Structure 1
Amino acid sequence: MEGSGLHPGTDGMTIEHAKELKVHDFERSQRHQRILTAVADFPLDGNEYYVGLYYTALNIGTPSQKYFVQVDTGSDLLWINCKPCSKCPRESNLKIPLNIYDPQETSTVKNVSCLSSDCKTLATISASSCIDKSCYYGFGYGDGSTTMGYLVEDVLTLATVVSNNTVKNATADIVFGCGFNQTGTSLTSSDRAVDGILGFGRQVLSVVSQLADNDVTTNEFAHCLQGDTGHGGLFVVGDVQEPGLVYTPMLANEFHYNVNLQKIAVGDVTLNIDSSVFASSNDGSGGTIFDSGTTMALFVDKAYFAFYNQLLSVIDVPYITIEDVTCFEYSSRDLTGVFPPVTLIFEGAEMYLKPENYLYRQQVTTSSQWCLAWSPSSSSRLDLSILGDIVLKNKLVVYDNNNGQIGWMDFDCQSVVKVSNGSGSQEVSPNLVNISSGSSHSFAVGLQVFTTFFALASLTYLL
């Protein structure tokens, strides 16, 4: 992973470089023997309702340092704030300690050469260039924020479940972004600030793909995002064995976790929406993706307005619309019988949604309202449907890259989940690993609601 191995000006590999590669391969083989087919547990905190994101903690480098990163299935690259960075936030109102990665302070960091396969892969998901023999990248996100940096390789310390709720540390080398130039409020402000973004997409450079390619874990993971007034949940890499999961195929040859959404039903009424409305186009537009980096949800305009009009026709509650957000004058927390359930009909499976999966509660002076958390995609200048945290919360969602499918079921996110390590099933509990020894789990941000999503890694900019 240190480049081509060609000595400058020759057509062969030097003896010294050959020896380095043999040592590297031996060390990797020993590591694989230790953690082959491991079940990796990542601590999870956050909330779609009060915080607007879910985050985990990663331990990187030697000596190991802790970094808090947003969990994002809508992008691929892991990147963390890195020196020198003048605009990186130094504190967070999430009450978590922030940390800036310093390549000079870790003994196991390696440069990723411009000639490496990782750098060539980067060019398929990001703007990239070669500067001083280092592989630079540039990402733009859907909220207008951007990040720029260069690739490095360092050691990730994993918490692996070796028996039911028994954890053992293991290590794996991963390639990630050293992000030294961030722009945009979401990446530079102390408001809900974290140390970076953990891309868990389906492309080669995502962490889950790297772990699988290195025979550390299987290429399958699951999350259960506890929502509403709770927080945290479960985020685990492994073969989930829970009965009751239903699956829909991932669409082939797509960059994201694209699925085939076919219909939407409001109550007992299936909306008159042609399935072609949800289809992906050759230019990358259209389609439906699962994205934990998006707080709310977006639907292509024809589908959204069919849903919106049908919803208003069956709800006998006064409402107001301000700045394209519709809120209902209803203060009770019990939505049963007042707001209908919604069903998303996919190829081969259906997802049943409660009103809390398309509404959020908003405090207004001395009372409260319930407001629509779904928006037309044109409001974010996009032409695709995105299922964010508001839809995915309180469900066990499985991303099975091995078999090209996504599964889900309603689930108590504080319950144990059965995960196979290849030789037997393990029970993994939520927060089996403490996300922070000093975390009080008391968020200081108050009620936060977002009508646009956080990250969409396909939006890139040129360096």
Structure 2
Amino acid sequence: MTQMAKGRPLSFWAVFVLATFTTLPLNLCRNLHPSTTTLLDVTSSLRQARNVLSSKPRTTPLNHQQEEEEEEAQHTSSSIVLQLHPRASIGMPQHWHHTDYRSLTLARLARDTARVKSLASRLDLALNRISKSDLKPVDLKIEQQQQYRYEYGVQGIQGPVVSGTSQGSGEYFSRVGIGDPPNQLYMVIDTGSDVNWVQCSPCADCYRQADPIFDPASSSSFSPLTCDTSQCRSLDVSECHNGTCLYEVSYGDGSYTVGDLVTETFTLGSTKIDNVVIGCGHNNEGLFIGAAGLLGLGGGSLSFPSQLKATSFSYCLVDRDSDSSSTIEFDSSLPPDVVTAPLLRNPQMDTFLYVGMTGLSVGGDLLPLSESLFRLDGSGNGGIIVDSGTAITRLQTDVYNSLRDAFSKGTRGLPRARGFELFDMCYDLSTKSSVEVPTVSFHFGEGKELPLPAKNYMIPIDSNGTFCLAFAPTSSALSIIGNVQQQGTRVGFDLASSVIGFVPNKC
């Protein structure tokens, strides 16, 4: 693999230590006197909800000027920088099938529920120590034009790629060059997955994507992997066909990708990276519509950061209904005003990225909860992961109930509305232009606190003024910080020092 440019920036840890001493008075003041309420701009939120359906997003790949802007961003940094787009900024015709924002919200929540169930299912498989031999395909059918299809005896092997604004919970995309010469393709970023893959021709069964299907014959750097390679053995499930390693990633909603495990050249801005392990999918099914494939940002050995040998990466998720963009950066440092927390790893599941969270506060008051409700224990149970693909934060039932009850007390003056799907705390704000709501904050120990903007937990479910508290309970021991709560915050993972950093308003 090509080495990164010399002259790495300071590590996250160095920045964190500096921030501790240079910003202590400000942070201490904020923690001693937390803001008890936060302003929700009702008018702005509803305007954006209406615009996401009335406007027709871009349905073609980036134009030449946009490609040049992304390459220029790469040249101005010693780290690797990619543009990050919400699905709404790419757009597909399926997006226009929703006639109102309520139906769009229903689709998002349905897809989000499928993802959460699948993440929990995959963790259960790991904790129950189901071996790879138990997950081996019982029937591999090789048909004409490499038509691959596995049938599993066990389901839920990998978290599903949710379908974004048009169908589900708001995916985020980066533009990546694959092959030599590079083919520019939109790739979903997903911190809950490790295996990178792209749709390939010949295509036995491919869903619709914004770019042409990748043709391996057009690339001089395309190279299949054999079955005896360590990368092939790292897969949850693999099979051999004529000495070539075949892969399948199966998602909890019935979606899947199947094909050859290969190495390819990736081009990120002006940087070329050779021999990246990627799945070349000839049979792909599901609601990945729009993206050419997936860029796995999880903690496993096949994930993109692991293959880059990156010591850190960060991303900032813009509003899921917007047409703006931000960046995903590898080996870059965070600003001094970062709020830090431990980055924890599950010995039974190396994919998921856990945050050392200790509590929640509502309206400036810590909820009366034991820290054990947020803790990852020695056997791999519990804990809370940071996930770019899950939309709505899921909390253990006791934690959620405490949060909901405290928030309810703090909003007694607001008119209530009926519950909606997984939301049971909703409000009729149709006559309001803005409202004050209790501040919800995440706490990470040592007095560190991350207050959330009101729009990150009070979200519209229709365009008529119904807003709901965007948290939900889960019966699983696994809790998840979703992308709605991450919006507008740069989330950084210092892999070398095992630290997560949060920097608000840094998109």
TM-score relative to the length of structure 1: 0.70
Q: 1:335 to 1:85 in 2, by over 3 A?
A: farther
1:209 paired with 2:302, answer no
Instruction: Report the Cα distance in structure 1 between the residues aligned to 2:254 and 2:408, rounded to whole angstroms.
Output: 32
Which one of the candidate residues 118, 121, 126 is aligned to 2:231? 118
When structure 1 is superposed on structure 2, of 310-319 and 133-142 the one drifting more is 133-142
Deviation, structure 1 residue 198: 0.8
Is the CA contact 2:207–2:284 (under 8 Å) kept in the aligned structure 1? no
Deviation, structure 1 residue 346: 1.8
1:158 paired with 2:268, answer yes
Larger RCO: 1 or 2 (CA < 8 Å, sep 6+): 1
> Match of 1:346, as an amino acid?
F
**2:249 matched residue in structure 1:** 139
Q: 1:375 to 1:147 in 2, by over 3 A?
A: farther
**How does 1:276-425 map onto structure 2 within 5 Å?**
276-281=372-377, 284-316=380-412, 317=414, 318-326=416-424, 327-331=426-430, 335-337=434-436, 339-348=437-446, 349-364=448-463, 367-378=464-475, 382-413=476-507
Which one of the candidate residues 235, 243, 248 is aligned to 2:328? 235
Instruction: Report the Cα distance in structure 1 between the residues aligned to 2:442 and 2:389, rounded to whole angstroms.
Output: 20
Is the CA contact 1:56–1:71 (under 8 Å) kept in the aligned structure 2? yes
> Match of 2:315, as an amino acid?
H
> Match of 2:266, as an amino acid?
L
Deviation, structure 1 residue 229: 5.4
Q: 1:342 to 1:34 in 2, by over 3 A?
A: closer
Q: Give unpaired runs (5+ residues) of structure 2.
A: 9-77, 89-104, 106-164
For the residue of structure 2 that corresponds to 1:307, the secondary structure is helix
Is the CA contact 2:395–2:472 (under 8 Å) kept in the aligned structure 1? yes
Residues matched between the structures, number:
352
> Match of 2:178, as an amino acid?
I
Bigger share in helix: 2
Instruction: Report the Cα distance in structure 2 between the residues aligned to 1:355 and 1:234, rounded to whole angstroms.
Output: 23
1:170 paired with 2:275, answer no
Instruction: Report the Cα distance in structure 2 between the residues aligned to 1:127 and 1:282, rounded to whole angstroms.
Output: 26
Q: 1:211 to 1:360 in 2, by over 3 A?
A: same
Deviation, structure 1 residue 201: 1.3
Instruction: Report the Cα distance in structure 2 between the residues aligned to 1:264 and 1:169, rounded to whole angstroms.
Output: 41
Which string of whole-angstrom CA distances, capped at 9 and with x for unpartnered residues, describes residues 283-307 of structure 1?
A: 6442111111222221122211221
**2:317 matched residue in structure 1:** 225
> Match of 1:211, as an amino acid?
L
Instruction: Report the Cα distance in structure 2 between the residues aligned to 1:33 and 1:395, rounded to whole angstroms.
Output: 26
Deviation, structure 1 residue 209: 1.2
Q: 1:285 to 1:104 in 2, by over 3 A?
A: farther
Deviation, structure 1 residue 247: 1.4
**2:172 matched residue in structure 1:** 54
Is the CA contact 1:47–1:226 (under 8 Å) kept in the aligned structure 2? no
Is the CA contact 2:343–2:493 (under 8 Å) kept in the aligned structure 1? no
Q: 1:259 to 1:34 in 2, by over 3 A?
A: closer
For the residue of structure 1 that corresponds to 2:279, the secondary structure is strand
**How does 1:236-255 map onto structure 2 within 5 Å?**
236-252=329-345, 253=347, 254-255=349-350
Which string of whole-angstrom CA distances, capped at 9 and with x for unpartnered residues, describes residues 223-263 of structure 1?
A: 11122654321211123141111211111435211122221
Deviation, structure 1 residue 175: 0.7
Q: 1:41 to 1:373 in 2, by over 3 A?
A: same
Is the CA contact 1:227–1:394 (under 8 Å) kept in the aligned structure 2? yes
Instruction: Report the Cα distance in structure 2 between the residues aligned to 1:136 and 1:281, rounded to whole angstroms.
Output: 35
Q: 1:362 to 1:324 in 2, by over 3 A?
A: closer
Which one of the candidate residues 296, 300, 305 is aligned to 1:199? 296
Q: Give unpaired runs (5+ residues) of structure 1.
A: 1-27, 92-96, 160-167, 213-217, 414-463
Deviation, structure 1 residue 410: 0.9
> Match of 1:68, as an amino acid?
Y
Which string of whole-angstrom CA distances, capped at 9 and with x for unpartnered residues, describes residues 301-359 of structure 1?
A: 2211221222222213212113333331113786552x211111124432211221112
Instruction: Report the Cα distance in structure 1 between the residues aligned to 2:183 and 2:320, rounded to whole angstroms.
Output: 31
Instruction: Report the Cα distance in structure 2 between the residues aligned to 1:336 and 1:271, rounded to whole angstroms.
Output: 23
Q: 1:347 to 1:142 in 2, by over 3 A?
A: farther
For the residue of structure 1 that corresponds to 2:344, the secondary structure is coil
% identity of equivalent residues: 29
1:40 paired with 2:80, answer yes
When structure 1 is superposed on structure 2, of 104-113 and 169-178 the one drifting more is 169-178
**2:211 matched residue in structure 1:** 98
